[in-house]
Structure 1
Amino acid sequence: MQQSITRLTSLLLLFTLAGCSNKAIYQNLQLNKKQQCQQLPVSQYDECMRSIPLTYEEYERERQEVLKKSKKTKD
């Protein structure tokens, strides 16, 4: 229950702060996921950590590639 409250508070804080960048939000969500992984038994920890998405830079690079491809198909 405490973890849920902490998680919810973190997410609300993230979305209500003015001037937060997409990168900061993305990184904070990743940090939250890592903290959740640390709560798991050792047998599940590695799998959980592998499920964490790309770094923001990798995500943004892939996102830009998809946008470029999408734009080319529209033209």
Structure 2
Amino acid sequence: MKTLIITCVIGLLTACSNEEIYSQIQEDQRRACLDLPQTATDACLRQYSPSYQEYEESRQKTTKHL
């Protein structure tokens, strides 16, 4: 039982960490988009707009097909 609880806690911590890392990378990329010419900024920002949940769903669909 203790092993199960520890495994669940580690899994939850890892998921939070992955989401935080994803969010930070997205934010850094969006900031970089602002340095581009206005004509390219909007397209760049759209590229980095998916939420972590959208990213994770897409990733899971992709890895299922492999």
Please give the range of the TM-score, normalised by the shorter of the 2 chains: 0.5 to 0.7
Unaligned runs of at least 5 residues, structure 1 = 1-18, 71-75
Query: CA shift at 1:69, angstroms?
Result: 4.7
Comparing 42-51 and 60-69, the one that deviates more: 60-69
Equivalent residues, number = 52
**Aligned residues with identical type, % of pairs:** 37
The reply to whether residue 21 of structure 1 matches residue 10 of structure 2 is no
CA positional deviation for 1:62:
2.1
Please, what TM-score do these two structures have when normalized by structure 1?
Answer: 0.54
1:16-74 Cα deviation digits (max 9, x unpaired): xxx7700000010000010001112212111211222621101112223344455xxxx
Could you tell me the TM-score, scaled by structure 2's length?
A: 0.60
Question: Structure 2 stretches of 5 or more lacking a match?
Answer: 1-13
Counterpart of 1:32, as a letter, is D
Partner of 1:4: none
The 1:66–1:42 alpha-carbon spacing in structure 2 relative to 1, beyond 3 Å, is closer
CA RMSD of aligned residues (A): 2.2
Specify the alignment match of 2:55 in structure 1. 59
Q: Identify the residue that residue 42 of structure 1 maps to in structure 2.
A: 38
1:67/1:44 Cα in 2 relative to 1: closer, same or farther (>3 Å)?
A: closer
